[in-house]
Chains A and B, each alone.
Chain A
Amino acid sequence: MPGEELPLFHRHFLLRGAVFFLLSYVLPQAYGLPSFARQTGQKCAACHVGGDWPQLTPWGRFFKLSGYTAGKPVVDKEGGMHLPVGVFGQAGLTWAAQPNDSQGQTVIDHNGVPEAYQFTGEVATKITNFLGVFFEYQLGNTYPGWKGVSGPVDVRAVHFFHVSGNEILVGIDSNNSPTVQDVWNTVPDWSFPFYLSPQALSGPASPIIANLGARSGSIGAYVLFNRQFYVEASFYRAATDFFRWMSAGTAFQEGSDNYLEGYNPYWRAYWTRTQGPNSLMVGTLGMRSHVFPASSNPTGPTDIFTDYGVDSQYQYLSDAHKITLRGSYIFESRTLDASYALGASATPRGNLKSLNLNGSYAYGNSWVFHAGYFLTSGNNDSTLYGITSPAGNVIATSPNTSGYTLQVDRSITQNIQVMAQYRGFVRFNGLRHNIDGIGRNASDNNTFWLSAFFAF
């Protein structure tokens, strides 16, 4: 309520920080997929930078590209066996700068209340020397209510060719989200921030390529040449029929999910080079998507989204100090004829641009510090992005949202990681101040999030 005195713990940033650092020290270090750790016999830090999921080391990238086929099969030749499964859980607390608006209405639910966020089960394993699978199913707190839905799914078949002293890795891949198959932490599915509190607010728009997870299924092929040049072509369709298992929990019939028409092309290419402890990657990706305006009625005309992206990563790796700098820019061209005809968009043509710049520093396999900046911008659209004040005035029609994320991760053991994250907004819906017409500022949406991750 306005003017209500908040409890001491909610008011003091330092006190929250102290709890995080206390947890970091009192609890007895890294986190990755437990089933792959069982398969390879390696610590999480072998594949994840500083043991911090999901950032990948060169070996982690190669392990993924080679179809998760390194290591022991579920039952090895000596009769030994490991379980190719793992479970995760996440819980924590989220505080908003202003959880309520100036009229006392709740903007951010369960402010400062301890919450469970997700329980996830995974099956991830090498099946044969050329076939591997990675499958997750998540039960997530969606505010309101809990919902079970397919997490990342990635099935790969690979073969190595050696021609005139050159290595050519050829793979076939099927997955349930564009970019989930990627090995760089610059693409939407794996980019920083790697996690966001489900209670925290996000901007009003993001490119379609980032919004097809557990709604699409793909078939594609890739080639990795001398571990330097990579090219991939995939085709995504709605995850129905044969692909339905990849979208378990997605209710297309409710109308608000992205339902693809036909087979939609996705492309990815990059070049990478390593020199001593330094490595550099420069890449491009993109997708052309035909999406029905309502997933409950997947017939008739579609909207067309064409995404073009460029991305790059620099990484310095030594045993104790690891630095990663990442950047990506996606331009999306939108032809919204179908939505426009139905009144679901105010303009038949538009665009959306998404910029992400961030970096991480890992000290050993215990502490990881992250910082990132994000900017989403695009054309005005009073239907898609319109905000109306209680007095009935349209105060915003822009998707422009920008801000920053600061985060500290501490790996307690391989199975437990605690995280403190501050997410700040500079602009929300194109506005800095009075974003709701009754005095709320963009920075009032800022959140501080403490969470703990468990993986077994």
Chain B
Amino acid sequence: MNCLKCLPKATLICFVIPLTVPFARAEQRSVPPAVVTRYCSGCHEMDGKSQLPYIPRLAGLSASYSARRLASFRAMASPPVDEAIDRILHIGSPRGDAAVARGARAHMVGVASAISDQETNAAAQWYAEQPPAPGKNRKGRDFEGGANLFNKGLDSQGVHACQSCHGSNAEGNGRAPRLAGQNSGYVMEQLAHFRAGQRCDSPEMTEIARNMANDQARAIALYLQTR
């Protein structure tokens, strides 16, 4: 009986509010695949325009690149849940795949291994079809340096021009990923992973990253974010 007295108030408070909310995202019309709704969007957002600086923006990334990247995650060893026991069992042994799993996006290794090939392709296709995020309109002091490195490279240092593979507008292609508008924190982290040997899917990038100084990697990342 007690609850019945409060039921109208509770219903009013809890369920009328959303009806007053304007349907603010009316531009995104199609229905995403379930794997995107339940899994990918938790970090990458439904439209692939992640807000968090260390999570990559997937909107407009070519489907074949995304699928290939997911496959490379799947090929890595999942981070052990019982890490303490794992360390005891492997005392003295080289870190190998575990180093990759710990240092890189350890949660992506798990995600990639938990979803099917069909889901992988559906997610990659969904994000490829999303309109790319516009570049952030912020030009810091490193902007010109980043632009120069992107367009011309620095041959004397063994740093090739990024645009030679990633496209003159950093739009990417099936082989090299789109970088325009990418979160700078993510780009810097990937360059660091290439340099440390924790990302091994592109020998060219490993070499370039190793030839690049930290401030140059930062300048390129900040420049790409504005594209």
B114 lies within 8 A of A129 (CB): no
Q: Is the interface of B mostly helix, strand, loop or mixed?
A: helix
Q: Does A288 contact B (CB under 8 A)?
A: yes
A233 lies within 8 A of B54 (CB): no
Chain A residues near B204 (CB, 8 Å)? Answer: none
Contact with B along A241-277 (1 / 0, CB 8 A): 0000000000000000000011111011100001111
Residue ID in chain A nearest B73 by CB atoms:
A41
Q: Does B189 contact A (CB under 8 A)?
A: yes
Contact with A along B1-45 (1 / 0, CB 8 A): 111001100110111011001011111111110100111011100
Chain B residues near A167 (CB, 8 Å)? Answer: 37, 46
Cα–Cα, bound, A261→B2 (Å): 8
B43 lies within 8 A of A59 (CB): yes
Q: Does A118 contact B (CB under 8 A)?
A: no
Cα–Cα, bound, A83→B140 (Å): 50
A269 lies within 8 A of B52 (CB): no
A164 lies within 8 A of B26 (CB): yes
Closest CB-CB distance, A452 to chain B, in whole Å?
12
A269 lies within 8 A of B25 (CB): no
Task: Name the one of B14, B18, B38, B110 contacting A225, with C-beta atoms under 8 angstroms.
Answer: B18
Q: Is the interface of A mostly helix, strand, loop or mixed?
A: mixed
B81 lies within 8 A of A37 (CB): yes
- Using A37-B81, A58-B52, A70-B38 as known contacts, say yes or no to A264 and B3 having CB atoms under 8 A apart: yes
Contact with B along A46-84 (1 / 0, CB 8 A): 100000000000110011001001111000110000000
A42 lies within 8 A of B111 (CB): yes
- Using A63-B42, A414-B81 as known contacts, say yes or no to A233 and B10 having CB atoms under 8 A apart: yes
Interface hit among B82-90, B144-152, B166-174, B206-214: B82-90
B185 lies within 8 A of A319 (CB): yes
Q: Does A16 contact B (CB under 8 A)?
A: no
Q: Does B78 contact A (CB under 8 A)?
A: yes
Closest CB-CB distance, A45 to chain B, in whole Å?
8
Task: Name the one of A34, A163, A276 contacting B51, with C-beta atoms under 8 angstroms.
Answer: A276
Chain A residues near B185 (CB, 8 Å)? Answer: 318-319
Chain A residues near B78 (CB, 8 Å)? Answer: 41
Q: Does B197 contact A (CB under 8 A)?
A: no
A40 lies within 8 A of B10 (CB): no
- Using A261-B2, A265-B3, A414-B83 as known contacts, say yes or no to A72 and B114 having CB atoms under 8 A apart: yes
Q: Does B79 contact A (CB under 8 A)?
A: yes
B83 lies within 8 A of A274 (CB): no
Q: Does B95 contact A (CB under 8 A)?
A: no
A277 lies within 8 A of B52 (CB): yes
Q: Determine which residue in A28, A167, A265, A277 has the highest number of CB atoms from chain B within 10 A of its CB, and name it.
A: A265
B79 lies within 8 A of A43 (CB): yes
Closest CB-CB distance, A416 to chain B, in whole Å?
6
List residues 208-262 of chain A with CB under 8 A from any CB of chain B. Answer: 223, 225-226, 229, 231-233, 235, 261-262
B53 lies within 8 A of A277 (CB): yes
A318 lies within 8 A of B53 (CB): yes
Q: Does B113 contact A (CB under 8 A)?
A: yes
Q: Does B116 contact A (CB under 8 A)?
A: yes
Chain B residues near A267 (CB, 8 Å)? Answer: 10, 13-14
Q: Does B221 contact A (CB under 8 A)?
A: no
- Using A41-B78, A263-B3, A415-B84 as known contacts, say yes or no to A231 and B15 having CB atoms under 8 A apart: yes
Q: Total interface residues on A, using CB and 8 Å?
A: 62
Chain B residues near A275 (CB, 8 Å)? Answer: 51
Contact with A along B53-67 (1 / 0, CB 8 A): 110000000000000
B1 lies within 8 A of A262 (CB): yes
B24 lies within 8 A of A43 (CB): no
Closest CB-CB distance, B45 to chain A, in whole Å?
9
Q: Does B205 contact A (CB under 8 A)?
A: no
B18 lies within 8 A of A229 (CB): yes
Cα–Cα, bound, A151→B106 (Å): 29
Chain B residues near A160 (CB, 8 Å)? Answer: 34, 37-38
Residue ID in chain A nearest B7 by CB atoms:
A265
Q: Does A326 contact B (CB under 8 A)?
A: no
Cα–Cα, bound, A278→B7 (Å): 36
A42 lies within 8 A of B38 (CB): no
Q: Does A334 contact B (CB under 8 A)?
A: no
Closest CB-CB distance, B161 to chain A, in whole Å?
27
Cα–Cα, bound, A72→B80 (Å): 15
B111 lies within 8 A of A40 (CB): yes
Chain B residues near A71 (CB, 8 Å)? Answer: 39, 110, 114
Cα–Cα, bound, A232→B31 (Å): 25
B15 lies within 8 A of A223 (CB): yes
Chain A residues near B51 (CB, 8 Å)? Answer: 274-277, 279
A164 lies within 8 A of B23 (CB): yes
Q: Does B107 contact A (CB under 8 A)?
A: yes
Q: Does A290 contact B (CB under 8 A)?
A: yes
Cα–Cα, bound, A277→B84 (Å): 31
Residue ID in chain B nearest A161 by CB atoms:
B31
Q: Does B109 contact A (CB under 8 A)?
A: yes
Closest CB-CB distance, A177 to chain B, in whole Å?
18
A165 lies within 8 A of B82 (CB): no
Q: Which residues of B contact A (CB under 8 A)?
A: 1-3, 6-7, 10-11, 13-15, 17-18, 21, 23-32, 34, 37-39, 41-43, 46, 51-54, 78-85, 87, 106-107, 109-111, 113-114, 116, 185, 189
Q: Which residues of A contact B (CB under 8 A)?
A: 28, 34, 37-43, 45-46, 58-59, 62-63, 66, 69-72, 76-77, 129, 160, 162-167, 223, 225-226, 229, 231-233, 235, 261-265, 267-269, 274-277, 279, 288, 290, 317-319, 412-416, 456
User: Which 3 residue pairs across A and B have the least CB separation, nearest first?
Assistant: A41-B110, A46-B107, A42-B107
Given contacts A413-B87, A415-B85, 17 further A-B contacts (CB under 8 A): A40-B107, A40-B111, A43-B107, A46-B107, A62-B42, A66-B38, A66-B42, A70-B114, A160-B37, A160-B38, A162-B31, A166-B24, A229-B18, A231-B15, A265-B3, A269-B17, A319-B185
Can you pick out 15 interface pairs between chain A and chain B where the beta carbons lie within 8 Å of each other? Answer: A40-B111, A42-B106, A58-B43, A70-B39, A160-B37, A164-B23, A223-B18, A225-B21, A231-B13, A267-B13, A269-B13, A269-B14, A319-B53, A414-B82, A456-B85
